[in-house]
Amino acid sequence: MSKKQAVLVVCSNRKAYHDYFIEDDYEAGLCLLGAEVKSVRQKEISLEGSFVRIENGQAYVYNMHIKPYRFNSLTELDPTRSRRLLLHKKELRKLSAKAEIKGYALVPLEVYLKNGWAKVKVAVAKGKHLVDKRESLKKRDLNREMEQNFKNKIRF
């Protein structure tokens, strides 16, 4: 029997799709402390400017901002502290090998709750140049126009 998996997307990094070519993605657990989980559940999180590094055989996400939980009176945590990502050793080796190649980066794409656990979708991405960004914007605009024209033709 398979359980139905409840997935709630908390935050997504839409700018990453604009700045990078996404080649591969992995699901990683997010190691949080105390009241950070409650802030994540309230969607008080931002992935703007965040990135992933692998240091000493562990993956960490940097610059991910989690707003402090306002009813927390026990501990004061830094909102942009580095947080550990939980991955298998095999995945860590693959990610570190790909991240060492020039032009590639590890980028968090989205944070979501899966069966109550905080997860991060980490992608191996290659940086886009300005020309590539313009081309992707043109393609998106053309597709949008084609869809609108197609919908208008069906109505008549």
Residue in 50, 37, 58 with CA at minimum distance from that of residue 110: 50
pLDDT for residue 74 is more than 90: no
* Residue given tokens 């140049």 in the structure block: 129
Phi and psi at 124, nearest 5°, equal: -90, 120
Q: What is the mean pLDDT of residues 11-38?
A: 90
> Which pLDDT belongs to residue 134?
87
Average pLDDT over residues 103-108: 92
Domains of the chain with CATH codes: 7-128 (2.40.280.10)
- Rounded Cα gap, residues 141 and 105, in angstroms: 27
The size of the chain, in residues, is 156
Q: Please name the helix (run of DSSP H) or strand (run of DSSP E) that holds residue 106, with its range, or none.
A: strand 104-114
